């Protein structure tokens, strides 16, 4: 008798019947469907479409079905801004923001703040949206750079490693995530030394120089904020030269579900990893398995982190709109600030001062799985949002200094 998460959330409002009447509600999105973040954008689009099917199957929003209009921004910030402005020009009540951080930040500044359209950040972790450049119409369902960086720093500060190497793609979110981790780690453990930092181009195809520099520095541990196709390419090239063996598997990166699937036998089994919405963890609960199985039945594969978080964008907005009994922006955002939301990641809330979801970070070991027939991250530690999220005082200080 398990129901999907949004159905549970909408039960009290009587929206279990199939959405029948009323004109469709058009939500919009500018997705990275080509360019360096294309793999992430395609997964996010699949998550949004699955969420729309889920919402419509459980009564819609105010009894009306949802439909999606979207465009491909090619991971280009200028194009994303133009698309977002045009898409919400038809009074769309929800915008799904771009995947890449540079584009997400640009849309938040140029479109969301100006047009006052609720905008969900499903992928970018740049904390500019919730801190420095916050506006009251944005909400973020992925843990931001501050949260992840501080949570990871607190974890590593307790470990015996002293010499760290860092590798990240050269883009706003990557550099910001590194700085959050590095600065907090050195604050918690002043004896730590950062022996090298490498920032290869976002979307690079050859990591030989970076791999050689990392090895030459002889670190105790390598921290990486690479993800998606960048991490896939790096990992394959690193394994080919026994990089992980040479550093005793002392490596951690954002090994999302689809990256591990794509790596297959090239996955660095035995290294550490973190995820934001792991299907391998969801299936440990009856409700989570329903979500995973239904997504797989529709899409032919398991939901990646990007798909699950994009799903949360739509279902969070739908829950807020049904609670508000309105799709009007201010009414919806008031509910975003007020109520608890249901998700495959469990229940979460948004803080009024930054509209950042109180979601956890999942840490574990890369291993092969017979159940999933691919490498997965075996989650050993679920780090709560409280371990890393900034206080209201910290957020307001950053904002006032802007």
Q: Which residues of the chain have pLDDT under 70?
A: 1-21
Residue 189, token pair as written in the block: 């453990």
Provide the Cα torsion 367, 342, 351, 109; round to 10°. Answer: 80
The fourth-level CATH superfamily of domain 5-143+281-336 is Response regulator (3.40.50.2300)
| CA-based end-to-end distance of the chain | 51
Burial of 91 (0-12, 13-18, 19+ CB in 10 A): exposed
CA distance 367 to 8: 33
Q: What is the pLDDT of residue 20?
A: 53
Q: Which two tokens stand for residue 228?
A: 């998606």
Q: Is 59 left (phi over 0), alpha (psi -120 to 50) or beta?
A: left
Q: How far apart are CA 177 and CA 161, in angstroms?
A: 20
Instruction: Write the DSSP assignment of 267-328 as a string of letters.
Output: S-TTSEEEESS-HHHHTTSHHHHHHHHHHHHHHSSPPPHHHHHHHHHHHHHHHHHHHHT---
Question: Which residues of the chain form CATH 3.40.50.2300?
Answer: 5-143+281-336, 146-275+361-392
Whether pTM > 0.85 for this model: the answer is: yes
Superfamily (CATH H level) for 146-275+361-392: Response regulator (3.40.50.2300)
What pLDDT is stored for residue 21 in this prediction?
62
β-bridge partners, 350? 357
């Amino acid at each position: 008798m398990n129901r999907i998460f949004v159905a549970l959330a909408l039960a009290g409002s009587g929206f279990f019947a199939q959405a029948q009447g009323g004109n469709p509600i058009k939500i919009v999105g500018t997705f990275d469907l080509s360019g360096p973040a294309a793999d992430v954008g395609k997964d996010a689009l699949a998550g949004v479409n699955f969420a729309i099917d889920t919402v419509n199957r459980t009564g819609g929003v105010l009894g009306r079905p949802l439909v999606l209009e979207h465009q491909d921004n090619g991971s280009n910030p200028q194009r994303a801004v133009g698309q977002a402005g045009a898409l919400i020009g038809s009074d769309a009540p929800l915008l799904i923001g771009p995947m890449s951080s540079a584009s997400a930040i640009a849309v938040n500044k140029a479109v969301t703040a100006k047009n006052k359209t609720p905008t969900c950040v499903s992928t970018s972790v740049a904390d500019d949206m919730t801190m420095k450049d916050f506006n009251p119409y944005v909400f973020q369902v992925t843990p931001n750079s501050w949260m992840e960086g501080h949570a990871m720093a607190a974890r590593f500060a307790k470990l015996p490693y002293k010499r760290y190497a860092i590798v990240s793609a050269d883009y706003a979110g990557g550099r910001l995530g590194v700085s959050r981790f590095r600065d907090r780690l050195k604050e918690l453990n002043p004896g730590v030394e950062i022996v090298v930092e490498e920032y290869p181009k976002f979307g690079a195809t050859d990591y030989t120089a970076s791999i050689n520099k990392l090895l030459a520095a002889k670190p105790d541990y390598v921290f990486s904020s690479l993800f998606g196709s960048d991490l896939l390419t790096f990992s394959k090239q690193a394994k080919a030269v026994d990089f992980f063996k040479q550093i005793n598997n002392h490596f951690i990166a954002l090994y999302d579900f689809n990256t591990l699937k794509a790596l297959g036998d090239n996955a660095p089994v035995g290294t550490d990893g973190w995820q934001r919405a792991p299907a391998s963890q969801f299936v440990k609960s009856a409700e989570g398995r329903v979500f995973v199985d239904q997504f797989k039945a529709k899409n032919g594969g398991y939901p990646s982190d990007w798909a699950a978080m994009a799903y949360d964008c739509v279902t969070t907005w739908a829950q807020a709109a049904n609670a508000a009994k309105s799709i009007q922006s201010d009414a919806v955002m008031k509910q975003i600030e007020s109520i608890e939301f249901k998700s495959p990641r469990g229940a979460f809330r948004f803080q009024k001062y930054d509209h950042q979801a109180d979601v956890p970070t999942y840490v574990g070991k890369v291993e092969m799985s017979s159940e999933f027939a691919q490498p997965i991250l075996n989650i050993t530690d679920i780090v709560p949002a409280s371990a890393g999220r900034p206080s209201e005082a910290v957020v307001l200080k950053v904002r006032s200094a802007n």
